[in-house]
Amino acid sequence: MKQLYMLMALFMSVFPAFAQTDSLQLQIQEIENSLQYQYGEISLGDGLAKIKVPEGFKYLDAEQSEYVLTELWGNPASGTTMGMLVPKDKGVLDDDAWVFDIEFDEIGYVEDKDAEDIDYAELLNTMKDDMIAGNEERVANGYEKIQLIGWASEPYYDQESKILHWAKEVKFGEAETNTLNYNVRILGRKGVLMLNAIANMESLPEVKQNIPLITSSVSFEQGHSYFDFNPDVDEVASWTIGGLVAGKVLTKVGFFALLLKFWKVIAVAVAGLGGSLWKRFRGKKEDAAAVEEEVQEKVTG
């Protein structure tokens, strides 16, 4: 009887934690239910491009995507997202959540003459050095250090469709889980459509498997494609194919501007950068799980 009273007392002491877990799940579900996903064909950038939401995905508009990126995931505000594609069977606060964020960078017409001559092993070493050199300023601006681990998928340029894609594995601070930074660039007349997969490394096979589906779903409208370039009136970008991969601008642009541009596409809470809301959710779930495990040990012991 004494053991029964002790067990009852233990359950009473941890009941708030279980109730908190239920409340947490309700909060997450409420947030997910508040998001208005779209399907079908959607115009991007006032007639710049269009996306036919592929099978197995759902689309969030720019306003809601900005909310997810900043308020839920803790990224710096940028205001440049045109929306995001989310796997149909996932929510943005799931443990294994991943998305494709869509943006347009009006940098001009990117010449691709260097595409076949790039030594990507040498480029990777240069990128690693650049990232190390930039860590001091990142820390000074309140961000964690970043380490470039290597290619998660080596750069590939489709000469015919004018689509470039590659993936990096990066580590934020002391995070146990590395971040997957999968980049897709669709070259256009006046710039590039950027589709950036925000995910953790465990999602790489799933993300990579969907690259052909994603790239075939997005296209420039007539008059905006790479093949509509008019050398008499259009500007040629200072970027090259190698520059797009390295994330460098070959013109005189302040480093801090580049820093912000870099951060907005790869900082992600699920990989350890952490927004306050996400940390609170995950912290509560972990605390409740620990208490539940303690109860199970008491019962079975």
pLDDT tens digits for 226-243? Answer: 999 999 999 999 888 998
Q: Which pLDDT tens digit goes with each residue over 245-281?
A: 987 533 322 222 223 333 333 333 333 333 444 344 4
Sign of the Cα torsion 147, 151, 157, 163 reads negative
The yes-or-no verdict on residue 64 having pLDDT over 50 is yes
Query: What is the band of 178 on the pLDDT scale with cuts at 50, 70, 90?
Result: confident
CA distance 23 to 30: 10
Q: Mean pLDDT over all residues of the chain? A: 78
Q: Return the pLDDT at 142.
A: 80
CA distance 5 to 2: 5
More confident residue, 301 or 219: 219
What's the number of CA atoms in the CB half-sphere (13 Å) around residue 219? 12
Query: What is the band of 170 on the pLDDT scale with cuts at 50, 70, 90?
Result: confident
More confident residue, 95 or 300: 95
CA distance 100 to 170: 17
Q: Which pLDDT tens digit goes with each residue over 8-29?
A: 444 444 445 444 556 777 888 8
Q: What is the mean pLDDT of residues 149-175?
A: 92
Residues 6 or more apart whose Cβ sits within 8 Å of residue 8: none
**Model pTM score:** 0.74
Three-state SS sequence of 16-78: HHHHHHHHHHHHHHHHHHHCCCECCEEEECCCCEEEECCCCEEEECHHHHHHHHHHHCCCCCC
- CA neighbor of 97 nearest in space, from 213, 270, 266: 270
* Beta pairing class for 49-52 and 57-60: unpaired
Q: What is the mean pLDDT of residues 101-121?
A: 93
The yes-or-no verdict on residue 72 having pLDDT over 70 is yes
Q: Return the pLDDT at 200.
A: 84
Q: Fold for domain 32-280?
A: Protein Transport Mog1p; Chain A (3.40.1000)
Q: Return the pLDDT at 290.
A: 52
